[in-house]
A = this chain, B = another copy of it.
Protein backbone atom coordinates (compact mmCIF):
# COMPACT_ATOMS: atom_id res chain seq x y z
CA UNK A 1 0.00 0.00 0.00
CA UNK A 2 3.04 2.35 0.25
CA UNK A 3 3.85 4.61 -2.69
CA UNK A 4 7.34 3.96 -4.04
CA UNK A 5 9.26 7.22 -4.53
CA UNK A 6 12.36 7.82 -6.62
CA UNK A 7 14.22 9.59 -3.85
CA UNK A 8 14.29 8.62 -0.20
CA UNK A 9 12.33 11.26 1.70
CA UNK A 10 12.52 12.20 5.35
CA UNK A 11 8.81 12.56 5.75
CA UNK A 12 6.64 9.49 5.27
CA UNK A 13 4.23 9.67 2.34
CA UNK A 14 0.68 10.34 3.52
CA UNK A 15 -0.71 6.93 2.64
CA UNK A 16 2.14 5.14 4.43
CA UNK A 17 1.31 7.19 7.49
CA UNK A 18 -2.34 6.22 7.21
CA UNK A 19 -1.38 2.57 6.92
CA UNK A 20 0.81 2.84 9.99
CA UNK A 21 -1.87 4.67 11.99
CA UNK A 22 -4.43 2.03 11.10
CA UNK A 23 -2.09 -0.81 12.03
CA UNK A 24 -1.11 0.75 15.38
CA UNK A 25 -4.65 1.74 16.34
CA UNK A 26 -6.20 -1.60 15.39
CA UNK A 27 -3.50 -3.53 17.23
CA UNK A 28 -4.14 -1.34 20.31
CA UNK A 29 -7.88 -1.97 19.96
CA UNK A 30 -7.36 -5.72 20.01
CA UNK A 31 -5.02 -5.40 23.00
CA UNK A 32 -7.61 -3.42 24.97
CA UNK A 33 -10.31 -5.89 23.95
CA UNK A 34 -8.44 -9.04 24.95
CA UNK A 35 -7.17 -7.54 28.20
CA UNK A 36 -10.24 -5.76 29.50
CA UNK A 37 -13.14 -6.73 27.24
CA UNK A 38 -15.65 -4.63 25.31
CA UNK A 39 -15.95 -1.86 27.92
CA UNK A 40 -12.20 -1.23 27.83
CA UNK A 41 -12.39 -0.22 24.18
CA UNK A 42 -12.87 3.56 24.37
CA UNK A 43 -11.34 6.08 21.98
CA UNK A 44 -9.44 7.63 24.89
CA UNK A 45 -7.81 4.38 26.05
CA UNK A 46 -7.02 3.11 22.56
CA UNK A 47 -5.54 6.51 21.57
CA UNK A 48 -3.34 6.56 24.68
CA UNK A 49 -2.15 3.00 24.11
CA UNK A 50 -1.44 3.52 20.41
CA UNK A 51 0.18 6.94 20.92
CA UNK A 52 -2.24 9.01 18.82
CA UNK A 53 -4.67 11.79 19.64
CA UNK A 54 -8.33 11.04 20.27
CA UNK A 55 -9.12 13.39 17.38
CA UNK A 56 -7.14 11.18 14.98
CA UNK A 57 -9.11 8.15 16.13
CA UNK A 58 -12.46 9.88 15.80
CA UNK A 59 -11.51 11.04 12.29
CA UNK A 60 -11.11 7.43 11.16
CA UNK A 61 -13.55 5.59 13.42
CA UNK A 62 -16.63 7.52 14.53
CA UNK A 63 -17.62 4.99 17.22
CA UNK A 64 -16.50 1.92 19.12
CA UNK A 65 -18.26 -0.47 16.78
CA UNK A 66 -16.37 0.91 13.74
CA UNK A 67 -13.10 0.47 15.64
CA UNK A 68 -13.87 -3.06 16.75
CA UNK A 69 -15.17 -4.09 13.32
CA UNK A 70 -11.93 -2.97 11.65
CA UNK A 71 -9.84 -4.52 14.39
CA UNK A 72 -11.43 -7.91 13.82
CA UNK A 73 -11.00 -7.59 10.06
CA UNK A 74 -7.25 -7.12 10.64
CA UNK A 75 -7.14 -9.77 13.40
CA UNK A 76 -8.56 -12.17 10.83
CA UNK A 77 -5.23 -12.67 9.12
CA UNK A 78 -4.33 -15.63 11.27
CA UNK A 79 -1.68 -18.23 10.57
CA UNK A 80 -3.29 -21.33 9.10
CA UNK A 81 -1.94 -24.76 8.29
CA UNK A 82 -0.65 -25.07 4.73
CA UNK A 83 -2.84 -27.65 3.01
CA UNK A 84 -1.11 -30.77 1.66
CA UNK A 85 -4.18 -32.58 0.32
CA UNK A 86 -3.87 -35.31 2.95
CA UNK A 87 -7.14 -34.99 4.88
CA UNK A 88 -5.90 -36.37 8.21
CA UNK A 89 -2.75 -34.25 8.18
CA UNK A 90 -4.66 -31.15 7.07
CA UNK A 91 -7.29 -31.48 9.80
CA UNK A 92 -4.73 -32.11 12.56
CA UNK A 93 -2.62 -29.23 11.21
CA UNK A 94 -5.55 -26.86 11.13
CA UNK A 95 -6.69 -27.79 14.67
CA UNK A 96 -3.11 -27.30 15.89
CA UNK A 97 -2.95 -23.82 14.28
CA UNK A 98 -6.31 -22.98 15.81
CA UNK A 99 -5.09 -24.07 19.24
CA UNK A 100 -1.89 -21.98 18.91
CA UNK A 101 -3.83 -18.90 17.82
CA UNK A 102 -6.07 -19.29 20.88
CA UNK A 103 -3.06 -18.83 23.14
CA UNK A 104 -0.43 -16.91 21.14
CA UNK A 105 -2.78 -14.45 19.44
CA UNK A 106 -5.23 -14.37 22.35
CA UNK A 107 -7.93 -15.64 20.03
CA UNK A 108 -9.50 -17.21 23.13
CA UNK A 109 -10.20 -13.74 24.54
CA UNK A 110 -11.31 -12.33 21.19
CA UNK A 111 -13.83 -15.14 20.66
CA UNK A 112 -15.06 -14.92 24.25
CA UNK A 113 -15.71 -11.18 23.88
CA UNK A 114 -17.54 -11.74 20.58
CA UNK A 115 -19.62 -14.57 22.05
CA UNK A 116 -20.52 -12.53 25.11
CA UNK A 117 -21.09 -9.07 23.60
CA UNK A 118 -23.02 -10.18 20.50
CA UNK A 119 -25.98 -10.71 22.89
CA UNK A 120 -26.37 -7.18 24.26
CA UNK A 121 -24.78 -5.46 21.20
CA UNK A 122 -26.59 -6.92 18.19
CA UNK A 123 -24.42 -4.96 15.72
CA UNK A 124 -21.55 -7.21 16.80
CA UNK A 125 -23.35 -10.31 15.51
CA UNK A 126 -22.28 -9.58 11.96
CA UNK A 127 -18.67 -8.95 13.05
CA UNK A 128 -18.65 -12.23 14.98
CA UNK A 129 -20.14 -14.22 12.11
CA UNK A 130 -17.72 -12.83 9.51
CA UNK A 131 -14.76 -13.45 11.82
CA UNK A 132 -15.75 -17.00 12.71
CA UNK A 133 -16.60 -17.97 9.12
CA UNK A 134 -13.26 -16.58 7.99
CA UNK A 135 -11.43 -18.62 10.60
CA UNK A 136 -13.30 -21.83 9.74
CA UNK A 137 -12.75 -21.57 5.99
CA UNK A 138 -9.59 -23.70 5.59
CA UNK A 139 -11.13 -26.48 7.69
CA UNK A 140 -14.38 -26.43 5.77
CA UNK A 141 -12.45 -26.46 2.51
CA UNK A 142 -10.61 -29.61 3.55
CA UNK A 143 -13.87 -31.26 4.66
CA UNK A 144 -15.74 -30.23 1.51
CA UNK A 145 -13.64 -32.72 -0.42
CA UNK A 146 -15.71 -35.47 1.25
CA UNK A 147 -18.79 -33.88 2.89
CA UNK A 148 -21.72 -31.58 2.10
CA UNK A 149 -24.83 -30.14 3.79
CA UNK A 150 -25.71 -30.98 7.38
CA UNK A 151 -22.92 -33.56 7.59
CA UNK A 152 -20.37 -30.88 6.70
CA UNK A 153 -21.84 -28.50 9.30
CA UNK A 154 -21.99 -31.16 12.01
CA UNK A 155 -18.39 -32.31 11.47
CA UNK A 156 -17.09 -28.72 11.31
CA UNK A 157 -18.82 -28.03 14.64
CA UNK A 158 -17.28 -31.15 16.22
CA UNK A 159 -13.78 -30.24 15.05
CA UNK A 160 -13.92 -26.55 15.98
CA UNK A 161 -15.85 -27.37 19.14
CA UNK A 162 -13.14 -29.80 20.26
CA UNK A 163 -10.86 -26.74 20.62
CA UNK A 164 -13.43 -24.06 21.52
CA UNK A 165 -15.13 -26.01 24.31
CA UNK A 166 -12.04 -26.86 26.41
CA UNK A 167 -10.36 -23.47 25.80
CA UNK A 168 -13.36 -21.23 26.48
CA UNK A 169 -15.16 -23.30 29.10
CA UNK A 170 -12.42 -25.25 30.88
CA UNK A 171 -9.59 -22.76 30.42
CA UNK A 172 -7.17 -25.29 28.95
CA UNK A 173 -6.09 -26.39 25.49
CA UNK A 174 -6.56 -29.91 24.14
CA UNK A 175 -3.33 -31.93 24.00
CA UNK A 176 -1.76 -33.20 20.75
CA UNK A 177 -3.01 -36.66 21.65
CA UNK A 178 -6.58 -35.39 22.11
CA UNK A 179 -6.52 -33.57 18.76
CA UNK A 180 -5.40 -36.79 17.07
CA UNK A 181 -8.19 -38.74 18.77
CA UNK A 182 -10.71 -36.15 17.52
CA UNK A 183 -9.57 -36.39 13.91
CA UNK A 184 -9.18 -40.18 13.94
CA UNK A 185 -12.62 -40.77 15.47
CA UNK A 186 -14.14 -38.57 12.78
CA UNK A 187 -12.27 -40.13 9.88
CA UNK A 188 -13.07 -43.63 11.08
CA UNK A 189 -16.69 -42.67 11.73
CA UNK A 190 -17.41 -41.15 8.34
CA UNK A 191 -18.39 -43.66 5.65
CA UNK A 192 -17.22 -40.99 3.16
CA UNK A 193 -13.59 -41.32 4.24
CA UNK A 194 -13.24 -45.10 4.56
- Selected contact of A181 from candidates B37, B113, B151, B169, CB within 8 Å: B151
User: Residue among A154, A160, A190 with the most chain B CB within 10 A?
Assistant: A154
CB-defined A-B contacts under 8 Å, sample of 17:
A34-B119, A37-B117, A118-B171, A132-B169, A132-B170, A154-B162, A154-B182, A157-B163, A157-B166, A157-B182, A158-B161, A158-B162, A164-B165, A185-B189, A188-B188, A188-B190, A189-B190
Q: Does A186 contact B (CB under 8 A)?
A: yes
Q: How far is the CA of A174 from the CA of B188 in the complex (A)?
A: 22
* B residues near A166, Cβ cutoff 8 Å: 153, 157, 161
Q: For the complex formed, measure the closest distance between the CB of A162 and the CB atoms of chain B, giving whole angstroms.
A: 5
**Is A8 among interface residues, defined by CB-CB distance under 8 A?**
no
Query: Main secondary structure on chain A at its contact with chain B?
Result: helix
Question: What's the least CB distance linking A40 to chain B, in Å?
Answer: 9
**Chain A 92-116 interface mask (CB, 8 Å, partner B; 1/0):** 0000000000000000110111111
In whole angstroms, how far apart are the Cα atoms of A170 and B113 in the complex?
13
Assess whether B118 is in contact with A116, with CB atoms less than 8 Å apart.
Answer: no
Query: Are B170 and A162 neighbours in the complex by a CB distance under 8 Å?
Result: no
Question: Contact check: which of B111, B120, B164, B185 meets A155 at CB < 8 Å?
Answer: B185
Cβ A161 vs Cβ B155 within 8 A: no
Chain B residues with CB under 8 Å of A157's CB are: 161-163, 165-166, 174, 178, 182
